Amino acid sequence: MPNILLTRIDNRLVHGQVGVTWVNHLGANLIVVANDEVSEDEIQQDLMEMVVPGSIGIRFFSIQTTIDVIHNAADEQHIFLVVKTPQDVLRLVEGGVPIDKVNIGNMHFSQGKIQLFSTVSVDEDDKEAFRKLRDLGVKLEVRRVPDERPDDIYKHL
């Protein structure tokens, strides 16, 4: 069983808050970025690697590759799984990745979305993915940084 400490939805993926603050809070030694586009974009990978301390590993996998390889993780790998969208989390859970808790950190506002929290905006597809995750027993919390009080997104769906 992979040792996934936390899964985070953040449309920015890895940045200072994720690469340092959350990693230190969780005690993670490996960040797995599960994203189809970034898994093939070396420039984005290089930019994300720059904010991660050298003692922390980082891997970039497509959603399907993550599903295929996550169960091969070594016991000593303490994984912080980072994705871009709730749909990505749903694909991972439906693909057998053992995710029981998801932190929602940042989902930018765009056309067709409504703002639920200062850093979280959703559309109907996002809401549907969250409802399916709830039905699958996944706990969801909105929290930008570790010392912030978590909020339950289900109350807002």
Q: Radius of gyration (Cα) for the chain, nearest Å?
A: 15
Ranges of the chain with pLDDT below 50: none
User: Domain 3-156 is of which CATH architecture?
Assistant: 3-Layer(aba) Sandwich (3.40)
Options 15, 25, 78, 156, the catalytic residue = 15
The answer to whether 15 is a known catalytic residue is yes
Element (H, E) at 138: none
**Contact predicate 154/140, CB 8 Å:** yes
Which pLDDT belongs to residue 94? 98
Contact 70, 63 (CB under 8 A): no
pLDDT of residue 152: 87
Domain map of the chain by residue range? 3-156
Considering the entire predicted model, what is its pTM? Answer: 0.95
The per-residue pLDDT for 18 is 86
Distances from the Cα of 26 to the Cαs of 31, 59, 101, in angstroms? Answer: 11, 17, 13
